């Protein structure tokens, strides 16, 4: 039987937008719906999760999953976009030492306040920030709180700092570099970014978009059960059907998200809070 829902894990090439990847797969998979679970900038490479069929409904849940990046920052200059695709706006001769960098890195772990880059997809009164920036329209972006679970020093050679960063959704890696350099009285630009992991999906297990075609695309779809690790909710047939029909029921289970399954498939996700159970995502 043809798979009609799931995820294709792609190692996005540099120069491709996330929508380029989705559109290529959409053509092969039509009429099934396709989407993605978190944008990567065109210059970035790495894990891009493309959803197929009803798996597109998992967006909100997957946004809560941890992501890991391998980022390179070059000290001595800053561009308008904060990455190597932009125009150099300022330079400096102040280059920090490895010791100085390691001293300030812990300041960026935890819940931190971060101002998004002006060249970003943030919405400003209905317009994208990057669009306003390109038109030289002055505007301000409000700081937002993001979760940085860990920052690991990898190397520092010839002004190029490499960090492994584990973070939550909505984090701008470019902005971490900008703010780090500010603490060090320097300037920096992100010159490479690889998303190495999203939840349990590692870059080593991702597919090459160039090797996927209409003959093999359905073989590349991972079933929902392989990337949803919620426990199975075991209930009688009547309760099972009532939950699938959207009814809110009293079920004495621990708070959390559960899978509602038949013999071979995940039909829905059910959320239980204070013994009240209700379907949160229909996947049947």
Question: Which active-site residues does the annotation give?
Answer: 41
- The residues, any chain, with a CB within 8 Å of residue 182's CB and separated by 6 or more, are none
Tokens of 35: 């989407």
Q: What three-state secondary structure class fits 159?
A: coil
Give the Cα separation of 164 and 70 in Å (integer).
Answer: 5
Helices (H) and strands (E) in the chain, counts: 6, 17
- Beta-carbon contacts of 241 under 8 Å, excluding residues fewer than 6 positions away, are none
Match 């300037």 to its residue by tokens: 187
Q: What is the 3-state secondary structure (H, E, C) of 74-119?
A: EECEEECCCECCCCEEEECCCCCCHHHHHHHHHHHCEEEEECCCCC
Instruction: Give the C-alpha separation, 155 to 219, whole Å.
Output: 39
Q: Closest Cα to residue 177, out of 166, 201, 161, 197?
A: 161
**Distance set, CA 153 to CA 76, 85, 111 (Å):** 19, 24, 19
């Amino acid at each position: 039987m043809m798979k009609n829902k799931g995820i294709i894990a792609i190692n996005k090439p540099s120069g491709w937008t996330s929508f380029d990847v989705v559109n290529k797969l959409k053509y092969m998979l039509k009429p099934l719906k396709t989407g993605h679970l978190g944008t990567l900038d065109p210059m970035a490479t790495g894990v891009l999760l493309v959803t197929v069929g009803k798996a597109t409904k998992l967006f909100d849940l997957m946004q809560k999953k941890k992501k890991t990046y391998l980022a390179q920052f070059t000290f001595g200059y800053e561009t308008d976009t904060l990455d190597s695709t932009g125009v150099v706006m300022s330079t400096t001769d102040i280059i920090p030492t490895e010791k100085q960098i390691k001293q300030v890195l812990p300041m960026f772990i935890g819940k931190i306040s971060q101002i998004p880059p002006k060249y970003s997809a943030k919405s400003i009164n209905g317009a994208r920030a990057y669009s306003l920036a390109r038109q030289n329209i002055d505007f301000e972006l409000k700081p937002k709180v993001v979760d940085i679970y860990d920052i690991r020093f990898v190397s520092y050679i010839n002004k190029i700092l490499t960090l492994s960063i584990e973070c939550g959704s909505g984090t701008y890696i470019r902005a971490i570099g900008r703010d780090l350099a500010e603490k060090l009285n320097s300037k920096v630009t992100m010159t490479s970014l690889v998303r190495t992991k999203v939840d349990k999906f590692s870059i080593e297990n991702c597919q090459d978009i160039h090797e996927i075609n209409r003959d093999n695309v359905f073989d590349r779809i991972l079933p929902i059960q392989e990337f949803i690790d919620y426990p199975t909710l075991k209930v009688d047939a009547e309760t099972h059907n009532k939950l699938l029909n959207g009814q809110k029921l009293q079920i004495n289970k621990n708070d959390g998200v559960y899978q509602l399954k038949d013999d071979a498939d995940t039909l829905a996700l059910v959320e239980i809070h204070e013994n009240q159970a209700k379907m949160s995502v229909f996947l049947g």
